Amino acid sequence: MKKNITLLLIIFISVLSFTLTFINPFGPTIIPISPMLEGIVKGYVNLNISLWKSPDEAIAKIVSGNAKFAVLPITTAANLYIKGIDIKLIGVHEWKVFYLVTKENNFEGLKSLKGKTVYSAHGRGQTVDVLLRYLLVLNGLEPDKDVQFVYAPPQEIVALFKAGKIDYAAIPEPFVSMCHTSGGKIVVDFQEEWNKIAGTQNGIPIAGLFIVEDIAQYTNLINEVEKTFEKSINWSNENLDEALKITSKYLTIPTPILKESMNRTEFRYVPISECKKDVELFLMKMNELYPDGMPDVPDEGFYLK
């Protein structure tokens, strides 16, 4: 019995001695992992933290087997799983980031958007685009007919907004705060609207922590990284100024803007055992509203048991 325990201990230590790659988006999502980057929060597992700048880059790291842990948007990960890339959701950590901003003073609800053009970040089918389209339908408006959509990089949208060339922008933080500094007003909180639709209080399950299938059997390893990730999020929330100081080493966004944006951004770790229904409902609704972008809903294999 003693020999078996010793052997298991040796195997466990040897697993922990390997450096595993942990990928995270480049951008304000650095804030919750900033203490991990700086070594302020760390666990027994050696992690090589790599920052990805595009979904294609993240996908390449996962498919190649380079990345074993990945922070990804829930919708992006769901589509990867549907296409046969076996990843599993451990937990959700981002719940709040999307808003509609304007300089106009006569906004009286979404019906006010009739005849207007809304600029949205990136392209058709991303979360805020799908939600806004759905909300327009609920308010008796037909997207692309009553309300026009234009897609552009968020930095470009901010520049156009500041120049007074656009009236409405459906964007995430910290770009909302950038618009706010030039007179922009928040007129729709998409998290509140989603809570009304879904009957939940959590907000939108925007992004979370995933593993690749080939390490799913290493429960202790996963638990250790999950615990480190949660501690990192909690530390950054409790020591925001220090977290922003670390983040400023990576981003060119002014620290005061990042700090303001955190008033409307929520990083809070919830394990999948406690938020699975939230994620399932969100993905089912995305599939219903925009099947071209979310052609199917992941089965049980998408969730870590």
Q: Can you spell out the DSSP letters for 79-141?
A: HHHHTT--EEEEEEEEEE-EEEEES-S---SGGGGTT-EEEEES-TTSHHHHHHHHHHHHTT-
- The Cα 9–Cα 21 span in angstroms is 23
Rounded to an integer, the average pLDDT of 289-300 is: 89
Strand 117-121's sheet: what is its strand order? 148-152, 117-121, 168-172, 98-102, 185-189
Residue 12, pLDDT above cutoff 70: no
Distance CA 86, CA 62 (A): 10
Per-residue pLDDT, averaged over 182-186, amounts to 92
At 9 the pLDDT is: 44
Per-residue pLDDT tens digits for 225-255: 999 999 999 999 999 999 999 999 999 999 9
- Mean per-residue pLDDT over the chain, rounded: 91
* Stretch 254-282: mean pLDDT: 96
181: Cβ contacts below 8 Å, ≥ 6 apart? 257
Q: How far apart are CA 292 and CA 277, in angstroms?
A: 23
81, 47, 14: which is closest to 226 by C-alpha?
A: 47
* Confidence at residue 6, expressed as pLDDT on a 0 to 100 scale: 43
| Arithmetic mean of pLDDT, 71-84 | 93
- Looking at residue 55, its pLDDT comes to 85
pLDDT at 146: 97
Distance separating alpha carbons of residues 70 and 219, to the nearest angstrom = 16
**168 confidence band (pLDDT: 50, 70, 90):** very high
Average pLDDT value for residue range 276-301: 91
pTM over 0.85: yes
Using pLDDT thresholds of 50, 70 and 90, give the confidence band for residue 213: confident
pLDDT class of 124 with cuts at 50, 70, 90: confident
Mean local confidence (pLDDT), 268-297: 92
pLDDT surpassing 90 at residue 132: yes
| Residue 14 in this model has a pLDDT that exceeds 90 | no
Neighbours of 165 (CB within 10 A): 10
Confidence of residue 18 (pLDDT cuts 50, 70, 90): low
Assess contact for 82 and 293: CB atoms under 8 A: no
Residue 54, pLDDT score = 86
Q: Locate 24 and state its tokens.
A: 């995270």
Structural domains of the chain ordered from first start: 2-95+206-302 (3.40.190.10), 98-198 (3.40.190.10)
Residue 8 has pLDDT above 60, yes or no: no
| Whether residue 5 has pLDDT greater than 60 | no
Amino acid at site 249: K
What per-residue confidence (pLDDT) applies to 96? 96
pLDDT score at 13: 47
Q: Are strands 67-73 and 185-189 parallel, antiparallel or unpaired?
A: unpaired
Q: Which of 40-44, 100-104, 148-152, 210-214 has the lowest mean pLDDT?
A: 210-214
User: Residue 28 pLDDT more than 70?
Assistant: yes
